[in-house]
Structure 1
Amino acid sequence: MNLKVVLPPVIIVVLGMGALSGVQNTGFREHIESTLTESAQGALSAAGLDGVDVSFAGRDADVTAPTDAEALAAADVVGGVEGVRAAAAYGPDGLVSPEDGAAEDGAAENDADTAEHAATEALAEATTSPEPTATPSDSETKDAGDDTKKDDDKKDEPRREPTREEREKAQEDLVEIPNITFVTDSARLTKDGRTVVKEAAEVLAEHLEVEVRVEGHTDSVGTEAHNQRLSERRAEAVVDELVELGVDRDRLTWKGFGESDPLVVPRTFADLEKNRRVEFDVTN
């Protein structure tokens, strides 16, 4: 049998079947997203949440609202729609977790308790004779003023420009950090992802002079526009987490590249995984 004659038709058939499968999968996914979007919007309207935007990537929803409270409420409604796998809430400042909402409620309760306690103390003070208060001496006032001035001067001090060796060492240490992982098709950090971001914060604490740009990259699955937005949200989520861990926000910038700068040419699932990444680029 002449392989030169047989192989070309076989290769063409295999490639054609692969392309057809991709088209079918894409069409099926778009149908699911369209159906779930319609159902979610109906559920939000029924719940009186008309000012909420909802979008789907597969069966996972991103819910965006004008306030954090509305975002959490809307995510809860959308998450209950049949067929929805997960719903992420986004407020005006980005991703909102249920813990954030609980913290806000707790803060409001604490404020109310504090106000009540202050009113009680004020009433008690009003019904008792005031005691003479000590007046600070001139020297104590001067010392306090000097300390405050020193603190202000320290804050106003410009950050020292790092040397080339310091920048290179910081870049080497950041490259050694493992890849940061997220929940599939979202900007939510996994447990391992948070651990890696903590490692990055520790590295940045060792190199206080450098400034860093956090760069988000995705694989090529999905639309280009969706991947661009996802990469931006992931980069911003890492910056927010670093700030929470004590890194000065003035040292950080972020940028999303979507699928435009793959690490490798995607031929396998392992290649796609390599292209989904967050990189740290020392900018000064």
Structure 2
Amino acid sequence: MAGATRTTSSSAARWEVRRRHPLIPIGAAVVGLAALVFAFEVPHRHAVEDSLAGRTKAALTGAGIDAEVRFAGRDGTVKVGSADEKDKAREIALGVEGVRVVDVQAPPKVEQPPAATEPLAVKLLVDSGKVTLTGTVPAEDARGKLAEAAKQAFGAENVQDELTVDAKRVADDTDLAGLGAVVAALGKDTKAGVVDLTDHVVTLTGTVPSQEVKDKAEAAAKAAVKSGTVRDELVVGQAAAPEQVQTQLVALPTVEFENNSATLTPQGRAVVENAASILKANPNIKVSIEGHTDLRGTAEHNQTLSEARAKTVLDTLVSLGIAPDRLTSRGFGESRPKVQGSDDAANAVNRRVEFIVQR
């Protein structure tokens, strides 16, 4: 009886276990299936992502866009280097087969400030049948037209073209070729004539042989300057007043030297020659030649350099026939800047030689 009882108890225990855990075999099967799916799906998904990333990268590179490409499933993230490439990159990425969504990221677009602009600045120097063109114009065709007009009036062999082109210069409504007509009106007998166009204003200085020449030059200047101003300071057949001579000398271009040197450049020599013509036309005028430097270098070096440059100009004027007793020279180094600042633009203005008429 005791044995039957034990048998019965053991059977009941086994039945109880089966009754309490009926899903164990099913759970084991599910876990096994999930393991098989994971083992298959993860490598497959990575292969899809790598394929999409590679094909998208290739499409962008082919369009000239350098980008970083990543995919999570079929959803891509594309990083480009410029905001200007953003829309084009999105269009290309969405065109790749298999891509569902793409997020294109780019740095914010930085608005560039407008380029600095400067007014026209042109000078035509006329002396005894020769013309020197200096200054800056906004385009090559403008330079060509002005130079050609001067050559037609005086002959190509008598025209020295030193014009430069700078797109930052603002083209006004002045007819640059029309300035050639002003030169033609001044003619080959004009001494130390200057046609100075600066910011819509044309200033005429120099000594002309007759009132007729003066009137023709003024009329030609007014025809060239449509909405600007003409200042006629031409003198007829006589020496100019000191203030008129000063105006003529100020109107000359900058006297240029070799870098960190007292040696004149060819353009600098041409300017000194024009200064000599002005002084020859006005034999009673005496001038002080004053040298100035920019702020680069030591004060001692700049003082020495300014003195040497002023002396070079004096010696050149003497060699061109100006009496030495009409000339003095001195240097001020960096002590008298014309404008404040030490950038290239300020340095170009402050680095100068000035002709000061002695009253």
Identify the structure with bigger relative contact order (alpha carbons < 8 Å, sequence gap 6+): 1
Greater strand share, structure number: 2
On whether the aligned pair clears a TM of 0.5, the verdict is no
What's the TM-score once normalised by structure 1's chain length?
0.42
Computing the radius of gyration over CA atoms, which structure comes out larger, 1 or 2?
Answer: 2
What's the TM-score once normalised by structure 2's chain length?
0.33
